[in-house]
Structure 1
Amino acid sequence: MQLNPVLAGPDPDIIADCVGFASKPAATIRWITGDIEHTSKENITQHSNGTATIWSQLRMVPSLSLYGKEASCVISQPDGMFDKRIIFTFTNIQFAPESFNFTVGRNNEDPPYIKCNANGNPTVYYSWTRDTVPHDGVWVKSNPLYLSDKDVETDGLYFCEATNSIGKNSQSVFIYKDKGTSHNAHSGVYIAIIVLQALLIITGVGVYFWKKRTSESRDPGL
């Protein structure tokens, strides 16, 4: 059983392959996907030694809601000679980062920090920028963003950019310190999430096909 990386989208695509090699008699393959609609296509190759290999392709809509769901490939032979069920999770739906959330915390004597998190597949990487030139009191260890305990100006509007191979997205957050709170307290840093339209950029093949379809739809000769 093999999962195929696919971009999230509204059109059906080949999500997975399931193969039964060189059985005699030939096996059959069926997919169990619960209430999620699917179709499949099977191909059988007969070998000179009398065995047969069956290959089935699972086709589904690669929606974001499919990510993390379970399904099964079941390979069987007549009269119960062989029956094997392979359970798997859809971890191959790829999508640009989305659904930001921020965490504020502190570890022992380390400076307070704010951590940026976003859903995305494959792996998401983060970078921080500020609306003004960064001060010495702010530094980044990739993610999270650390804020100095010293009496320096760290208040301001910050931008977290989340990036993976599919695209990137960004969200802004305003950070300020409560000057009257002890530096040893976790509540010494307060944040206010500023709800702005996030910037979403999809890269690669998706943009190419979108432009191609748009140009074709506008072609009066079609």
Structure 2
Amino acid sequence: MKSTFIHAARALMKLQEVRFKVSPNHSWRVAAYAAVLAKKLGMSEKEQNRIYLAGLLHDIGKLGISSAILHKPGKLTAAEWEEIKKHPVYSYEILSAIPGMKAISLMALYHHERYDGCGYPEGLGGEAIPLGARILAVADSFDAMTSDRVYRPRMSEEMATEELYRCAGTQFDPQLVEVFCCRVVPEGIDPELYRITVDIPGGVKHLRNN
């Protein structure tokens, strides 16, 4: 089962990199931010590893979304937005079919839920949203805001931090926002230090020294 898990994860990461040529490093950065936040929260190394892998694969479901919609420079139509909102479910369907990825698939499924219950796909709120998914929501949004997109230029880290605080308690878990903005952003991250290898016997480990 471990071997199946490792090789499946490796194949999905490669597929994702090939498919999303425009921003191949987004998932690596999200994974690194999420892993650092999990560490700052005192979570176990096993939990950090799961959250890291969920960060790498949270958007795998976008393979099921048209490239024309994903890379559209203008405003999405209502129908196009409804299509985009299906990607967490697609991620869940892909990942949950792999032995050992149940917890990771649930983080991917719920990473667009909102703390106030107004997110998707199920409208979960507060602590009903798995902690890993709440962590991914903060990490994913911060990296999205600080990256160039086809429809807008990047924000500064200061502006993105202000936006996280503004949305704390509505879109994001306020405790996670506080830890992320006070202890993760100021220290910075190097995503290269958090790249993983899936070739080691026994599972997935971080290539890092701390």
| TM-score, normalisation: structure 2 | 0.24
| TM-score, normalisation: structure 1 | 0.23
Please identify which structure carries the higher helix content. Answer: 2
Flag the structure with more relative contact order, 1 or 2, with Cα contacts below 8 A and sequence separation at least 6: 2
Rg (Cα) greater in structure? 1
